[in-house]
Amino acid sequence: MTTDGFDDVADDLEKLAENAEELDGENEVPWDELYNEQFMRKHTSFSSLEEFLRDSPWDADSVDELLKLASQNEIDEYVDKYTRFPTGERMQGKAVEEWAAGQLGF
């Protein structure tokens, strides 16, 4: 019996622990990294965050601008209509979840 498989698992677990340690605490993630093309294609009717913003009823070039121009209820209605999420908060939660999983190496 060889231990190569166990060594690989141990290496993977060590890398996972290192990645988790790097994520510990607060993280500032750019909106376009959080809502990357893969996320947008998978969960929305859009292929990018830029397209999502451009096609919105508001003249917003960024999520920060959108948050200033629209009420939370208006954003939630837009998100509900064009994504798989009922609210912007749920969309953001899933984006954070997928971003963190990617950072951990999943």
> The whole model's pTM is what?
0.74
The mean per-residue pLDDT over the stretch 57-83 comes to 97
71, two tokens? 């009420």
Tell me the mean pLDDT in the region 29-48: 96
Whether 19 is covered by a domain: the verdict is no
Query: Which residue type, as a one-letter code, is found at position 40?
Result: M
> Would 8 be classed as within a structural domain?
no
**Residue 66 in domain:** yes
Q: What is the largest CA-CA distance in the chain?
A: 64
Contact status, residue 84 vs residue 52, Cβ threshold 8 Å: no
In the predicted model, is pLDDT for residue 106 greater than 50?
yes
At 80, list the tokens. 């509900």
Task: Give residue 81's domain range.
Answer: 29-104
Q: Specify if 14 maps to a domain.
A: no
In one-letter notation, the amino acid at residue 19 is N
Is 60 exceeded by the pLDDT of residue 37? yes
Which range has the worst mean pLDDT, 54-58, 81-85, 102-106?
102-106
Question: What is the chain's Cα-based Rg?
Answer: 18
Mean pLDDT of 50-73: 96
Residue with structure tokens 């209509």? 81
Name the CA dihedral angle for 27, 31, 36, 37, rounded to a multiple of 10 degrees: 180
